[in-house]
Structure 1
Amino acid sequence: MTTPDQPSIRFTRTLYFRVIVGILAGVAVGYFAPHVGEQLKPIGDGFIKLVRMLVTPIIFLTVVVGIASMGDTRRLGRVGIKAIVYFEAVTTLALVIGFAAVSLIRPGAGMNVDSTTLDSTSVAQYVAQGKHLDATGFVLNIIPDSFVGAFANGEILQVLLLAILTGIALVAFDDERRLLSLAKSSSHLFFRITALVMELAPFAAFGAMGFTIGKYGLGTLVSLGKVLLCVYATCILFVVVVLGLICFFNGISLWKLLLYLKEELLIVLGTSSSEPALPGLIAKMERLGCSEMVAGLVIPSGYSFNLDGTSIYLTIAVIFIAQATNTHLTIKQELFVIFMLMLNSKGAAAVTGGGFITLAATLAALGSIPVAGITLLLGIDRFMSEMRSLTNLIGNAVATITVARWEGQFDVEHARRVLNNNKIVPESADLEKAEELR
């Protein structure tokens, strides 16, 4: 456990400083040498693949250890129900706030885009996948074809299902202690491997930002800056007001929580993906005082069901396309948009290009807004994905604290001490639970 007199290290040697340098260097290369920047994409993609390789075993082992250590399967059901209630309430609020913001700012007004001139071939793949997005398919996809297949495909919800079943079975197993000890040791091993992989985060941030700026350019931000500003401003407002109030009622400071998660937030900012930060988020929530079972269950499921930033983005995107193409929506149609996004945003959460797939499915179901309007967002989607991923990460951290507190498994005083004494220490310890994370 961290002690107040634990030695710190220089700021310039910290992971988050190196990630900042990587981001700035990537922006510079993408701006001044765009052709070079476009060639850097494999660096960021390779890092994300490395982390995804470790995410599923970490989730599996964390949940198994948490359930087996708890020894009470009834509490598991309680935690699951509370998490789902929280997810649905907060993401619905995010959808409503996004709708209010885009209706007030009206970023698409005056664009007068003729939908017949839009090239729909660039979004054809999303339209095709959107046609198959339904509740039945989503539920069936949670069940893996095989035990090993869930890990091979990297499906978070499938691995979560297997972990829950394994944990429940382990509770009634005669040789529980030996197997539990093995699972804990394996968990420490994977967190150690993740710590090693995280040393590559600055290079990943450099490659991802170089590609983004090199391919799309800063000029894209100017031409569609109003909708981009709408997404950023709404996400920031949601984090500060909604998540800030939830943190306040939980007895902690949102600002201190953000400082505590600074490494994870910078990794998300650099890679435009929240997946690389998942192992670190689980580890830090446990260190903050959330039980292993709650953190292991709420965070992975939140990556599919508690996507606050994605909810905001989807609402703004749909209404923006309607405004840009001069498509009038009745109040009934606007309510239907929110209802469809409540369903579809969960169904496409773990799918590559899930945002566009959800948009395509929603627009197709509505019928009145041209699906080809998605092409208007292609150039800036990469920039918007950074903010929505950041919001998703913060939202899942707050959700874990809230559910843990509802379960009486969150020590507020301990959390305050951790947040107040959050010093700069070697990041390799951040992800190693064997040493209690710094």
Structure 2
Amino acid sequence: MTMAMETTVDRTAGKKQKTELGLAIQIAIGLIAGIIIGVVLNRLPELRAAVVTDYLQPAGDVFIRLIKMIVVPIVFTSMVVGIAGVGDGKSLGRIGLKTLIYFEIITTIAIVIGLVFGNLLEPGAGTDLSQLGKVDVSRFQQAGTRATGHHGLMQLILGIIPDNVFASMAKGDLLPIIFFSVLFGLALQAISEDARKPVLAVLKGISDAMFRVTGMVMRYAPIGVAALIAVTVSNFGFSSLLPLMKLVGVTYLAICVFTVLVLGATAKLFGFSIFALLRVIKDELLIAFSTCSSATVLPQLMKKVEDYGVPKAIATFVVPTGYTFNLDGASIYLGIGTLFVAQLYGVHLGLQEQIVLTLTMVVTSKGAAGVPGFMFVILLATLASAGLPLEGLAFIAGVDRLMDMGRTALNVVGNALAPLVIAKWEGQYDAEKGRAYLATLK
């Protein structure tokens, strides 16, 4: 009788497990529901403003705020535990150097790919300016002007060092937080074991608890995604966007080619499959794509790559650092967007000008990820340095959200692959753990 009862319980549990929808499916349902709601509201302008302002936008902002709430404590505690618990100053310096070299190579390739696609497919050629709707981007003009003159190497280094770490934490500025976390972790490692152990235990407890909080927050993800995508779709002016669909198409084609060829070849070179990685991070990709915010998946991304076989010390250092220095999607967009504006106004940029542009983009694309609307700031700075009309950006701002979805997803893929590459490069990747984790996804 007891065995029969246990069998019944097991079957019931199995049925319950089968009927539960995975996070990816829930988010996909939310995405579809949001698109439908957005399309309906787009055709009901008298209802749209009230629904978007009073309900949808706040519902989406709740999700973004919940994520921002957990990012800083997770990054700080995870990095300190990883460095003080299993790392050392010499190996961390070596990992940091390799990480920056890898980021520089990959993002430079992404910029070049963007320029190649912009030259070959000419998304701005033949576009009638009179058919394009303009969006006011004046609030980014001053920031873009500042960016041209304040992104030198020393200014970037100065921006990494916080004058008040708590102020940086309050603003969610990751680079200063990473810098302080590394120093604190190394200092904690250098003190006596009796003093170190209780501090590590507390920080590890906070880190584990915050990952539990992340799981709670993710339960709201489908609702947040539905609300945010509904706002985006309801605000489309499809008639005014049609002339810019070529720009959107070229951007997504470049993103797909870069993912499969460049990141795919890089993954293959280090013994990984890009398609297996996409399967590992499918939930995070859907969230990032829908919300246009890679910060929404930072905690889960660190946890996923650690589960996939990357040591904690590497995962907790490389992923947050990549959020500033390894923006592959943004780098591709810089090349395409700059050439689009040049073609829009009939300005020819020769090979020499484009080489200078590439070097400019390599510098301006670093260190601005924490700035709201940072892509506009960087692109405005790039246009200004090339002597191109800054008002050209106002024409493409209307479809920027569409392209932002794709480039944010690519940023996530690039920052998921990076810790795998660095771990393998360091000879610290746990292949057996990675294979076991992949097996659980089948």
Residue number in structure 1 paired with 2:70: 54
Q: 2:283 aligns with which of 252, 257, 263?
A: 263
Shift of 1:333: 1.3
Amino acid paired to 2:365: S
Equivalenced residues, count: 415
Matched, 1:388 2:402: no
Asked if the contact 1:118–1:373 (Cα under 8 Å) also holds between the matched residues in 2, the reply is no
The RMSD of aligned alpha carbons is 2.0
Asked whether the 8 Å contact 2:307–2:433 carries over to 1, the reply is no
TM alignment of 1:321-360, pairs within 5 A: 321-360=341-380
Q: Which shifted more, 64-73 or 188-197?
A: 64-73
Partner Cα distance (1:11, 1:380) in 2: 38
Q: Per-residue deviation at 1:218?
A: 4.0
Distance 1:384 1:164, change over 3 A: same
Answering whether residue 22 of structure 2 is matched by residue 14 of structure 1, we say yes
Equivalents in 2 of 1:38, 1:417: separation in Å?
44
Among candidates 36, 52, 59, match of residue 38 of structure 1: 52
**Hey, what's the Cα distance between the residues in 2 that align with 1:393 and 1:147?**
26
- Percent pairwise identity: 37
Any idea what the Cα deviations from partners look like across 1:40-59, whole Å, max 9, x if unmatched?
Answer: 22222221121111101111
Q: In 2 relative to 1, CA 41–330 (structure 1 residues): closer, same or farther, beyond 3 Å?
A: same
Alignment of 1:80-99 (within 5 A): 80-99=96-115
Q: Which residue is equivalent to 2:256?
A: 236
Contact 2:87/2:313 (8 A) holds in 1: no
Larger mean CA deviation between 159-168 and 34-43 belongs to 34-43
Q: Which digits, 9 at most, give the CA deviation of each residue in 1:355-390, with x for residues without a partner?
A: 0000111111121x1010001111110111110011
1:43–1:204 Cα contact (<8 Å) kept? yes
Runs of 5+ consecutive residues of structure 1 not aligned to the other structure: 1-5, 424-438
Which of the two has higher C-alpha Rg? 2
C-alpha displacement of 1:221: 4.5
Report deviation, 1:143: 2.1
Cα displacement (A) at 1:250: 2.1
State yes or no: 1:421 paired with 2:437: no
| In 1, Cα distance between equivalents of 2:261 and 2:118 | 18
8 Å contact 1:363–1:370 — kept in the other structure? yes
After superposition, the C-alpha distances for 1:387-426 in whole angstroms (9 at most, x for unaligned) are: 0011000001111100011111102243123213315xxx
C-alpha offsets along residues 180-238 of structure 1, whole Å, 9 cap, x if unaligned? 11111110011111111111111111111001011124445533110000110100110
Equivalent residues in 2 for 1:217-236 (5 A)?
Answer: 217-236=237-256
Which residue does the alignment assign to 1:397? 416
Where does residue 212 of structure 2 map in the other structure? 192
Q: How does 1:32-431 map to 2 (within 5 A)?
A: 32-34=40-42, 35=48, 38-39=52-53, 40-113=56-129, 122-133=136-147, 134=150, 135=152, 136-174=154-192, 175-367=195-387, 369-423=388-442
Equivalent residue letter for 1:188:
D
Determine if contact 1:38/1:212 at 8 Å carries over to the other structure: no
Taking structure 1 as the reference length, what is the TM-score of the superposition?
A: 0.91
Q: Identify unmatched segments of 5+ residues in structure 2.
A: 1-12, 43-47
Residue 6 of structure 2: aligned partner: none
- 1:98 touches 1:313 (CA, 8 Å); kept in 2? yes
Note closer, same or farther for the CA distance 1:55–1:293 as it changes in structure 2 (3 Å cut): same
The 3-state SS of whatever aligns with 2:162 is: coil
TM-score by length of 2: 0.90
